[in-house]
Amino acid sequence: MIRRREFLLGAAATAAASPLAAATAFGRDMSPPLGDKAAFVAWGKANTREDPIYLERRFDRYKEVLAFNDLWTPAEKRAFLLTPREEFVLPQDKDNAYVGHYLDIGFGVTITPPGTMGRMTSSLVIKAGEKVLEIGTGSGYQSALLTYLTPRVYSIEIIPELAQRTRGVYDRLIAAGYNEYSDIATRSADGYYGWEEAAPFDKIIVTCGIDHIPPPLLQQLKPSGTMVIPVGPPGAQHILKVVKRERADGEASVARSDIFGGKIIPFVPLAGGHQTPS
């Protein structure tokens, strides 16, 4: 079997660079068992060198996420099982990395529960090679998950200190062998305005709430592109799937649907002063 985390830098150097045990080039053809916990943990021990405790917890949460229909395709299920969420929470919360609720990551920001992230990701229906923009890098977990679906991931974080810290998390994991995270382009900026020089995007995922759909993001979305975004007043958002259409006259239109069937899903508000004044 392919060894995902082979020693390239030497055991001593690797241990100094990361709490993970080894380093290797990433193989995008890796296929963990999707249906059996024991088989997945055994596969993980043989191929990833990740801590079996977290492999077990990841699979347990994965089964919960499946029970709520939050992961739809084999590709999305595989992405969930390959993403080490424990590496993206604060060190004191590693044992809580797979709980089903929000966790504080500092700077007034939280990491979204696994099931919500799973449903948002699945709703985008990402195809390999598509260009995806994330607004709100936060912990970095969502972008990490996206790299298992496409190698073209862009992510914006408005808080410079958080953007710097999360870039450091990616770089540490890249040094430990998670070369897939080299595919994440990051910047610290106001995500309301998107990433114009990298546009257009096939898919956009917004991981913070706002009471309207930002026009610059719609403009940077390709015709027939899809955006998933929490829309509503602070603490009372609905997560919408927004599909952009181009009419025969060249004008754009959008179709909206609620991916949680009307359920309120609270998100940290999008910063930058863009909420509509009361």
- CA Rg value for the chain: 18
Q: CA 21, CA 34: separation in Å to the nearest integer?
A: 24
For every one of its 278 residues, what pLDDT tens digit does the chain have, with 9 covering 90 and above? 334 444 333 332 333 344 454 434 445 568 999 999 999 999 999 998 899 999 999 999 999 999 999 999 999 999 999 999 999 999 999 999 999 999 999 999 999 999 999 999 999 999 999 999 999 999 999 999 999 999 999 999 999 999 999 999 999 999 999 999 999 999 999 999 999 999 999 999 999 999 999 999 999 999 999 999 999 998 899 999 999 998 777 777 899 999 999 999 999 999 998 988 75
Q: CA 143, CA 231: separation in Å to the nearest integer?
A: 20
Domains of the chain: 11-258 (3.40.50.150)
By C-alpha distance, which of 203, 230, 213 is closest to 127?
203
Grouping H, G, I as helix, E, B as strand and the rest as coil, residue 165 is helix
